Structure formats: C-alpha cells, structure tokens
Structure 1
Amino acid sequence: MTDSSNSPPVDRSLVDRTLALAGLLQALAQVRRIAETGQANGDVLTTSLDSVFRIDAASPADVYGGQAALRPGLTLLREYFGSRLKDEQLPRLALAVIQLERRFVADDAMARRVRDGIVAQQAPAERQGSTHPEVMSALGDLYAATLSHLRPRVLVQGNPHYLGQPDVVAEVRAVLLAAVRSAVLWRQLGGSLWDLLLRRRQIVAAVEQLLR
C-alpha cells in the first residue's frame, strides 16, 4: 500500500492518462474472464463497450461514463504496481494491445475503416445497448476484419470450450476493440511506455487519488 501523504503532487494530465490505463486493464480483465468462463461482468462490460462509441467525449472520464465506473481497472493498476496482480496474462495482453495500437494509428485507411464501422453501429447501440449480441457481433466482426490482421497479434488464452463458440469469440473481439480504444486515448493524452518505467510512483499516487 502506498502512503499517499508522501506521494508527489499529481498533475491532471497524468491523472487522465491513469484513467485511460485503467480503462485498458479493465477491458482486458473482461477479455480474460470471457475467455475463461464464457461470461462477463455486465456492468464492466457495458463500461468498456460504451467507451467505443464515445469518440468525441468531453473528457477522459466521460469516455467511461465517469471515473467511478473505472474503479475495477484502478484497483487492477494498484495491484500491478504493488506486484499483487493475480493474472500474469494481463500485463502481457496490455503490452500487446499498446504495441498493436501503434501500428493501428499509423494506418490511416484502417483507422478510417474502424471509425466508420463504429459510427455505423452507433444507432443500434443507442437503441439496443452496446452489449446487445448483434452490436457485439458487429464490433467483433469489425475487429476481425481490421485490427486482427496487424502485428503483433493479440493472442488470448482461455478455455477451449468457450473459445470455440462464435458468440464468445465475437464478444472477446468486441472487448479487445474497447481495449484498443483505451490505448488510443492513453497515447492521445501523452502516454508512453516511459511512463510505466519512469513515473511509476506518480501513477500509483494518481491511482490512490482516484480511488479516494
């Protein structure tokens, strides 16, 4: 546990980047849960998939419907930096998504195709909800047709019984799209891998501030 009274002041930009990182981990934790059990946490799944459609949100917190919705992801961040994270696959997945995001934003044609695909699902998501099976299937198909062709591929391990079911695979891909959305936001806010190496204490302080 970090003693927040001894933590350095946390600037707003780092707090915002921490929210995006929490969104990334939170989405990937759901990817892992779906791959292992075939089921997601409904509220957390909604937070992740809603973020895909909030392309022009007023603030990083608004992307996720408020910072309170990121409490699970913030808790995962605290566990990671405290070397208490139970799922060893989660940091590897996060690194793969961060690397994938760099290739994605460098491909203008693919970025436009993904944005157009998301916009096409905006009305159904508003009408039926972002977690409706048809919406998730469309988002999963969009990921499969675009981001899945980039390298490095994000390899999700789990229970073969569930990963052999098309609806589960579609859900995993849809949430991976949400994870990439958080990675894009993180970069847009100035995030880089150097943050994770050189600003760990400040990120932990931001996490504690947000969890309070």
Structure 2
Amino acid sequence: MTKYHDIAIALAGVCQSASLVPQLANTGNCDRELYYLGMRSVFNTSPSSTLNVFGERKDIQSGLKLLVSVLGSEQKENADVLRYTFGTLGITHKLRNQPETLNDIGMRIQRVASMHPEMSLEEVATHSDELSYSLAGIYSDIISPVAAKIKVMGKIEYLQNTLVQAKVRTALFACVRAAILWYQVGGTRWQFIFSRKKIVQAAQELLTEY
C-alpha cells in the first residue's frame, strides 16, 4: 500500500465515527457495529498497521465510501460529517503539540482497558454503556479543554440524555483517535487542497480491492 492508502484509511476512520454524531444527536441511536468499531479503535494503541487500528478492510468500508463522498461532489449532503471531521482534526492538531496531555490520555485509556483484558468487539458490545461513560469522561476532562468545543446540533430531547451525551463524546473521541493516526501516517490539512484526488483515488482502490 502507498502513503495515500494509509492516509485514506485513517481519514475514513475519522469520517466513519463522525457520521455517528448526527445520528445520535437527532435520533438517540446510531449504527451499533460502527460505534463498537470506533470505541474499540480508541483502545488499540499499539496497532500492527494503519488498517489494524480499525480491524479488517470490511470494518472501514462505510468510512471509505463516506470519504469519497465528502471529498467529492456530495459535500452538502454530508455537511455535518464534514464539520465534525474537520473539528476533530483541529482538536487533534493542538493535542499533538501537548505531549503531557497525550500521555494523560494514554494513562486513562490504559486504566479503563485494564478492567477489560480482551477488548474484542463482543467485549465492547457487552460493556458498551460502561465504556461509553468512561471514554466520555476522558474526553470531557482532557480533550475538550484543549480547544474550542465542537458544537453538536440535534434534537434537545436527545442532547439532554446523559447516555446519548456520553456516546456523542465517545464517537468524537474515536474521531480524534483516527485523526492522530492520520497525522502519524503523514496526513496534513494542505492535502485537502492539493492532494484531494490522490486521497479519493486511494479510497476507491481500497473499496475496489475489497
């Protein structure tokens, strides 16, 4: 795989979790499988490859399709996803310059993970609510203060629900995890201007190969 395949995979991870935020904010629910995949990725701090952060190729298909759409001609249709994607990329950009903050996040993640030795999808699904509150706590305590808060738009009856709030923060945390990966594999914000076609082509090749 080329550098742009890794960049596309990481960005797809951001988009995939970003797509869960408007679902939660407007309906109180979201795609469970994608939510569990995003949550599990937060705990995968020592991956063997870029793809391994999310699992297998099939686990990132939704994000790759979304990436092709948001970087192509369907930006208006995916305006919310694009906003949450760029919002979390911005937060991550600031986080990267704060090694102590990143270390604190890592320690908190390990503390939660120590109570769940096998962080499989089944384990994540079984303890979904508990893990959501734990990750939301890390997001609120450490990540949120780093930059201006991302304004989540939705229906008030869902946005006031504590579990929905926790899941929204967890989804945003998963976006940040994927965004950190994106920077690690050579992603830069200039690529959205000068390398958009290369990223879209890489994403389409990953979809075709699957």
**TM-score, normalised via structure 2 length:** 0.91
- 1:51 equivalent in structure 2: 41
In structure 1, how many angstroms separate the alpha carbons of the residues matched to 2:176 and 2:124? 16
Aligned residues: 202
- 2:51 equivalent in structure 1: 61
Alignment deviations for residues 1-35 of structure 1 (CA, whole Å, 9 cap, x no partner)? xxxxxxxxxx6111001000000000000112111
Identity %: 27
Alignment deviations for residues 159-200 of structure 1 (CA, whole Å, 9 cap, x no partner)? 111110111101111111110000000000110011111111
In structure 2, how many angstroms separate the alpha carbons of the residues matched to 1:105 and 1:171? 24
Q: Which moved more, 1:55-64 or 1:108-117?
A: 108-117
User: 1:106 offset after TM fit, Å?
Assistant: 1.3
**TM-score, normalised via structure 1 length:** 0.91
Work out whether residues 42 and 173 of structure 2, in 8 Å CA contact, stay in contact via their aligned partners in 1. yes
- 1:87 equivalent in structure 2: 78
- 2:123 equivalent in structure 1: 129
* One-letter identity of the residue aligned with 1:183: A
What SS does the aligned partner of 1:121 have?
Answer: helix
Confirm or deny that 1:106 pairs with 2:102. Answer: no
Alignment deviations for residues 97-141 of structure 1 (CA, whole Å, 9 cap, x no partner)? 111101112122211111111111113443772342111100001
- 1:23 equivalent in structure 2: 13
Work out whether residues 15 and 206 of structure 1, in 8 Å CA contact, stay in contact via their aligned partners in 2. yes
In structure 1, how many angstroms separate the alpha carbons of the residues matched to 2:58 and 2:30? 19
In structure 2, how many angstroms separate the alpha carbons of the residues matched to 1:120 and 1:61? 24
* One-letter identity of the residue aligned with 1:64: F
Aligned-pair Cα RMSD in Å: 1.4
Question: 1:51-200 maps to which residues of 2 (within 5 A)?
Answer: 51-85=41-75, 86-125=77-116, 126=118, 129-131=123-125, 132-200=128-196
What SS does the aligned partner of 1:162 have?
Answer: helix
In structure 1, how many angstroms separate the alpha carbons of the residues matched to 2:140 and 2:114? 21
In structure 2, how many angstroms separate the alpha carbons of the residues matched to 1:107 and 1:71? 32
